[in-house]
Chains A and B, each alone.
Chain A
Amino acid sequence: MENRFDHNQQEEQGWGNYATPPGLPGRRVGFTAPSSSEMGLCLQVREMLPHLLENDGVIRPEMARQVYAHLSVCPGCTAEFDEMQRVIQLMDKLPPAEMPRDFSLLIMQRILSPDGPIPQRPPLRAGINLSDAPAEISAVRTENPETRATRAALGQPVFTEALSRVKVNSSLSTVHRVGTQNVTQNVVIQASRTTLSTLQRLTAASVLTAVMAFMLTTAWGRNALGSDLDAVHGWMQQIGDALSKVPLFGRMTAYLFAAMNQMSDSVSETYRTLGANAAKGLTLDIALCACACFFLAARRQRGQRLGI
């Protein structure tokens, strides 16, 4: 069967915008179907009408030309297409919604009111580093002149002194909260996280490695790790019991000690079954894994911070 909507690459050239109907021919062009298939053709054409209206690229120019040719001879399809276009025109004729006057002032007043929203702290992002911090802090210390003008226009209290004075002025506590507190916190937190996070991880990794080395090189450590299981259990149990009395923190620490106890169990089991060297090897492996994890986490966070 002939494909009436076959895409013709050559004819497409030079006529890409088919939303504007071309001159409708007075005779049938490209439609030589027998009258028995007219209904099927109308259905096909009607399915394409929304795409023709949207001009969404689904109907290629050659197809569009043939649809328009059909519309020129089919009153039913033409009426449907015409109605579709007029519905859109009716919506286009709707006047723009009239906004109340000074609407933005209402919004800003609500934002600056004491029960207004407290902005979330911005996440760590690329582009904010220690070199930016002093500039941002100084920007906070003396309020932006534009912000001051906005506050004056809204009848809000205005910063007239440096931040240190504003802090002790309780009547301006709300303004201080909205305007500066979050910024100050952000800058301090970002500055500390930028430099200290890597340092903290390095320190933690070093301490962990030192503890493991101590446990391996001293008799007491070796005993604690492997040979005297009952003593280790008793020791861990006592610490865990003492800490579990402290709410939340104690419970978390007790879980940590329970995990360490488990680790000690597995080390001592290795010591018993495979000997001291295997136990030392396992302990060393654990220490190295912990160090690697710390370094990888630090490196990943640094990469995220720099937007890599």
Chain B
Amino acid sequence: MDHQAAQERFSSYRDQELGPEETRSVEEHLQTCRACRRQYADFQETVASLGTLPPAGPPANFAEGVFERVRKRSHGRLFSQRRRGMAVPLEWLSLIMLVAVVAIYLLFRLSSPFGLFSK
């Protein structure tokens, strides 16, 4: 394995993503090549330093901002309020339907002796 081939594999080698054969080739090259060994040490240091970058945190009122946007987007109605708003009329609707069905049944029974069945 030449210098370029070895260096092209630094990233996968570092993450242990190479197959056993390629891993061995890279290791053999690094053992015999001082320049690439130096390059690899720098490479490793670079990747390690990326990991030390402190995470950037959101501002304190971040979540509040999210909720405000959602509220604005949904025209003031919030989350389950929309569902609750639907649930009440549905219950009323089912009650009204029930009453209507009973009323029609009674009406039919009452009217039938003088209507359809009297003939």
Genuine A/B complex? no
Residues of B within 8 A of A (CB): none
Residues of A within 8 A of B (CB): none
